[in-house]
Amino acid sequence: MRTYIMLKPDALKRRLAGEIISRIEKKGYEITDMKMFTLTEDILKEHYAHIANLPFFPDIVKFMTSGPVIGMIVEGPDVVQGMRNLMGATKCLEATAGTIRGDFAFTNGENLIHGSDSPENAEIEIARFFGK
Ligand code: CDP
Ligand code: MG
């Protein structure tokens, strides 16, 4: 199974990319593709269609386009749920210690990492960002 993982601009600005990639590697998953790029508002409206009409979306666009991101394809058994477990909950106060967000995120918006929420969405997101 494979999933789409994206290190958000705060992860790069805070020099946490290595720490987060290390956790993915130590878990045993395989990173089979990786690239650094900058998101646009158009692609975010597609990627975040489920939150695009919520009041905080303009802030998310500002944040997510504020610097480069690192997109990755990560592979392993049950990796979609497994990566969600490594990431921790969306909201920083609900993310438990030991997870990436629990250990390093202190706001709900700037929460360091994106991971697909289902195998179906993983394939859609991999196609969107890697064209494969
Ligand atoms: O990223 P995740 O799948 O955990 O959460 P989401 O519900 O798909 O929301 C996408 C992103 O919107 C989150 O990662 C946050 O950056 C942001 N968000 C927020 O700032 N406040 C919320 N109440 C929900 C989402
Ligand atoms: Mg999501």
Q: Chain-centre distance of CA 100, in angstroms?
A: 11
Residue numbers of the domain that contains 49: 2-130
What pLDDT sits at residue 96?
Answer: 98
For the record, the structure tokens of 95 come out as 């993310």
In single-letter form, the type of residue at position 77 comes to P
What pLDDT sits at residue 119?
Answer: 98
CATH of the domain at 86: 3.30.70.141
**Number of independent structural domains in the chain:** 1
What's the alpha-carbon Rg for the chain, to the nearest Å?
A: 14
Q: Which atom of ligand 1 is nearest to the CA of 115?
A: 3
Residue 2: φ, ψ to 5°: -135, 160
Instruction: Give per-residue pLDDT as tens, 9-67.
Output: 999 999 999 999 999 999 999 999 999 999 999 999 999 999 999 999 999 999 999 99
What pLDDT sits at residue 88?
Answer: 98
Atom 19 of ligand 1, residue of closest alpha carbon:
109
Mutate to test the pocket of ligand 1, among 51, 83, 107, 125 (most ligand atoms within 8 A of CB): 51
